[in-house]
Amino acid sequence: MLFVDQVRVFVKAGDGGSGTCSFRREKYVPFGGPDGGDGGDGGSVLMVASQRLTTLLDLRYQQQYKAKPGWPGGGANKHGRSAEDVVIKVPVGTVIKDDASGEIVADLTADGQSQVVALGGHGGRGNARFATSTNRVPTNFDPGTPGEERWLRLELKLLADVGLVGFPNAGKSTLIAAISSAHPKIADYPFTTLTPNLGVVSWGNDHSFVVADIPGLIEGAHEGKGLGLQFLRHIERTSFLLHLIDISEWTAEDPVAGYEVLRKELASYDAALKSRPFAVVGTKLDIAGNGQRLEALRAYCKRRRIKFFTISAATREGLDALITFVGQKVASLRIPCETRS
Ligand SMILES: Nc1nc2c(ncn2[C@@H]2O[C@H](COP(=O)(O)OP(=O)(O)OP(=O)(O)O)[C@@H](O)[C@H]2O)c(=O)[nH]1
Ligand SMILES: [Mg+2]
């Protein structure tokens, strides 16, 4: 399925229905008073977050959403019917921005959360409402107010606790497949993963956290090389990062240099992401050979006091220790700052 995480849409709410000018006409009742009813309200446009959706794809196909206007008022004090709201479903994690000002209209982070993005116009008053003791035959009425309209920019930012960041082929998808029930594509060529995957990892008695596996980064990603940095958007909301570095003997790149490139690319995307808590994970321990590359990375991390793990998703060595550490870390980071001792 196509993964779309950015779209522009136009929303237009319905105008309010016009009030009516009318007078009571009945047999044997001369001089019937004003009886023009009010117009109905125009329909609003709403966005609702739904857990069932994982992409903004539908909104790429339909770009314009218009609600109907309210019905005009009628004679005999009949109020016009209000129009129905138009409801647009979006995935949980959708940030709605006003396209012109860039201002955030809403950030829908919970299933069922909704936001009115274009408010329907109010129905106008009919002439019956203008009658006073001094003006018993008013002919004025309100036309109804226009519905709001604007262009919106939607950005999907997945909700996950932990982000996996690494070069292509580092073993990110293999790790998420080994520790959660996610089934991403895994292969020994770069850029196997083209769209983010989420996996729920259970640990301890009844704890869990959500991991996001995103497409690999390469040197120069900030200049658009490879798939660029666009997918880092999906780990912006994470509280913890894991940098996966391939330490197997067949890999040509130097693991320490690779780590430094990763950090540099992260920093060019967003300084806040660079200061996020993280740990380094040496992957493919089962094929580490004489362990020279592994030891070089371990020594480097030790010197810089960076938490370092080694794992093999193939033999599951080191996975339990990693999961427990990350689980505890995520739990401590989830506690709001005020209550943290
Ligand atoms: N022997 C061994 N091979 C592994 C291990 N983890 C991953 N691999 C292999 O490494 C290759 C790349 O793994 P992926 O999980 O697809 O790598 P990725 O980081 O998701 O790569 P991209 O999606 O391209 O960014 C695959 O052939 C995996 O089978 C491991 O622990 N041991
Ligand atoms: Mg992958």
For residue 337, what pLDDT band results from cuts at 50, 70 and 90? very low
Ligand 1 atom closest to residue 177's alpha carbon, by position in its atom list: 15
Give residue for tokens 């371990």.
298
pLDDT, one tens digit per residue, over 49-76 is 998 888 898 898 999 999 999 999 998 9
Of 14-23, 48-57, 80-89, 296-305, where does mean pLDDT reach its minimum?
A: 48-57
Any idea where the domains of the chain sit in the sequence?
6-156, 162-339
Residue 29, CB-side half-sphere exposure with 13 Å CA sphere = 7
Residue 211, CB-side half-sphere exposure with 13 Å CA sphere = 29
Residue 188, CB-side half-sphere exposure with 13 Å CA sphere = 3
One fold for 6-156 and 162-339: no
Domain 6-156, what fold?
A: Spo0b-associated Gtp-binding Protein; Chain: A, (2.70.210)
Q: Residues with Cβ within 6 A of ligand 1?
A: 166, 168-174, 186-188, 190-193, 215-216, 283-284, 286-287, 312-314
For residues 277 and 237, is the Cβ–Cβ distance under 8 A?
Answer: no
Q: Domain 162-339: give its CATH code.
A: 3.40.50.300
Which of 164, 165, 169 is the best mutation target for the ligand 1 pocket, counting ligand atoms within 8 Å of the beta carbon and taking the most?
169
As beta bridge partners, residue 211 has: 162, 199
Ligand 1 atom closest to residue 313's alpha carbon, by position in its atom list: 31
Which of 173, 225, 309 is the best mutation target for the ligand 1 pocket, counting ligand atoms within 8 Å of the beta carbon and taking the most?
173
CA 192 / ligand 1 centre spacing (Å): 9
Of 118-122, 151-155, 229-233, 302-306, where does mean pLDDT reach its minimum?
A: 229-233
CB atoms near residue 341 (< 10 Å): 3
CA 160 / ligand 2 centre spacing (Å): 17
pTM for the predicted model, two decimal places: 0.81
- Greatest Cα pair distance in the chain: 109
Which ligand is nearest the CA of 167, by number? 1
CA 256 / ligand 2 centre spacing (Å): 21
For residue 341, what pLDDT band results from cuts at 50, 70 and 90? very low
CA 205 / ligand 2 centre spacing (Å): 29
CA 91 / ligand 2 centre spacing (Å): 22
CA 188 / ligand 2 centre spacing (Å): 9
Which ligand is nearest the CA of 218, by number? 1
Of 6-10, 263-267, 332-336, where does mean pLDDT reach its minimum?
A: 332-336
